[in-house]
Amino acid sequence: MTAEFFPVSTKFISYFKGALPFDVYLERFTGKFTKIYHKDAEADSNQIVRYESNDIKTLYISKNDKISYGNFLYKEIDQFTKGSDQLDKAKIVEIIATALELTYEKIVEDNNELDTSITWASYHIRSALYLMGDNAASTIEIFKALSSDLSLLKHSYLVSLFSLTLAKKLDFTNEKNLVVIGLGALLHDIGHSRLNAELLQKSNLTPREWEEIKDHPILGLKILERSRLIPDDVRSIILQHHEQRNGRGYPNRLGGNKIFPPAKIVAIAEEFCTMITMSSPGEPALSPSLVISRMKSDIGHYDREFLDAFEEMILGPIKPAKSK
């Protein structure tokens, strides 16, 4: 594929009725693209079915149309968050997954459009609040729908879902504060994009490699430093989400009450989402109860009050120990 086009799934295109605000292309041969839908035309659902029956699952959009494409995605998200469009869950998840890819790519690669990307990221958080409702069950349902793709951006969205659910459990009810927490969670590991991808896949890191990994909160702030739309509280979450109550975290070895409370929330959600999806080939994933048990055994790492609330949120009310 040449640098002038980016892929979208046929399933994604088939979801939409009415005029598309961008041209759509088919790759006939390697590097050779044919326009199949002109801007302002409507996709032919029967034709999409024929493509898929011939094992064609990917179409393409010109990178010149990326801003139009992004605005189109977020208009769709805005419609269902306002309840004006009754979309099925599969379509919502597909829109979110597609929009996440675009948002992360633009944040990482295009500093000239950073404020636009941050605005789009804020839409993600508002869509998360809408999809979640008022209980953890909805969060877990979305988690299952997205967890088959465990790339950084999907992981970060899942962390934002669980961070928001925990924040609501802890009575962070102001929408402005919730958006800040969700945005901080969505962007918490954006600094990983500045690290060597092979380094992130290694299981046995040397001390020097581990020090490189520990730089990612600061690298995240550097990526976002040109944006005027990033609140200081979001920056604090990104910088502090690996600090520990016992003062053994990084990058600044903060402890106790010196750690920003929303960063403590994101730390719990991040570890849970990481561990719940960790499994070796052929082995079952860890159960939520086992993951939380391991987190609780890591004495001094997490805020215990927040972790207890998270446990109750995921597993139900904690039963008192029976007296002997």
What's the token pair of residue 270? 């991040």
Q: What is the mean pLDDT of residues 74-97?
A: 66
149 pLDDT band, cuts 50/70/90, is: low
The mean pLDDT value of the chain amounts to 83
Q: Give the pLDDT score at 2.
A: 46
Above 60 in pLDDT, residue 295?
yes
d(C-alpha 43, C-alpha 19), whole Å: 8
Q: Give the pLDDT score at 100.
A: 72
82 pLDDT band, cuts 50/70/90, is: low
- Using only C-alpha atoms, the chain has a radius of gyration, in whole angstroms, of 21
- Read off the pLDDT of residues 3-33 as tens digits, 9 standing for 90 and up: 588 888 888 788 777 888 899 999 988 889 9
Please, where are the H alpha helices in the chain? 10-14, 45-53, 66-81, 89-109, 114-132, 136-146, 152-169, 175-186, 197-201, 207-213, 216-224, 232-240, 261-276, 288-297, 304-315
Query: What does 145-185 look like in DSSP terms, one character per residue?
Result: HHTT---HHHHHHHHHHHHHHHHHHTT---HHHHHHHHHHH
Place of tokens 């769709």: 76
157 pLDDT band, cuts 50/70/90, is: confident
Above 90 in pLDDT, residue 102?
no
Q: Which domains does the chain have, with CATH numbers?
A: 1-66 (no CATH), 88-315 (1.10.3210.10)
- Read off the pLDDT of residues 228-282 as tens digits, 9 standing for 90 and up: 888 999 999 999 999 999 999 999 999 999 999 999 999 999 999 888 877 555 5
Q: Give the pLDDT score at 137.
A: 66
Q: What is the DSSP letter of 63?
A: G
d(C-alpha 324, C-alpha 322), whole Å: 6
Above 70 in pLDDT, residue 148?
no
Q: Which of the two residues, 83 and 202, has the higher pLDDT score?
A: 202
- pTM here is 0.78
Mapping DSSP to helix (H, G, I), strand (E, B) and coil, where does residue 196 land? coil
